[in-house]
């Protein structure tokens, strides 16, 4: 029996849907679902984990900025 992997994943950061990544022949492409993560829109990642780390970095940077 072959095991299939999903072609799309939701990335959540602190109970917020940051975006969706979809698998293609070159890796994973990010689609933002919240304005905060728009800087990642359309970006290509080698792995789902790499995309998640990028989203976490965007979220952390926002929290470091003074209000």
Q: What is the pLDDT of residues 14-43, one digit of tens each?
A: 999 999 999 999 999 999 999 999 999 999
| Averaged pLDDT, 5-18 | 91
In the chain, the percentage of residues whose pLDDT exceeds 90 is: 78
Residue ranges per structural domain of the chain: 7-64
Q: What are phi and psi of 4, to 5 degrees?
A: -105, 145
| Averaged pLDDT, 52-60 | 96
**What whole-number distance in Å separates Cα of residue 61 and Cα of residue 46?**
22
Look at residue 62 in the predicted model and tell me its pLDDT: 82
Task: Label the pairing between strands 8-13 and 27-32.
Answer: unpaired
pLDDT at 1 exceeding the cut of 60: no
């Amino acid at each position: 029996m072959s095991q299939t992997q999903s072609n799309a994943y939701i990335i959540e950061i602190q109970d917020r849907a940051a975006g969706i990544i979809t698998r293609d022949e070159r890796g994973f492409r990010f689609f933002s679902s919240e304005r905060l993560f728009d800087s990642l829109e359309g970006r290509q990642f080698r792995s789902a984990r790499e995309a998640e780390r990028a989203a976490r970095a965007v979220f952390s940077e926002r929290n470091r900025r003074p209000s």
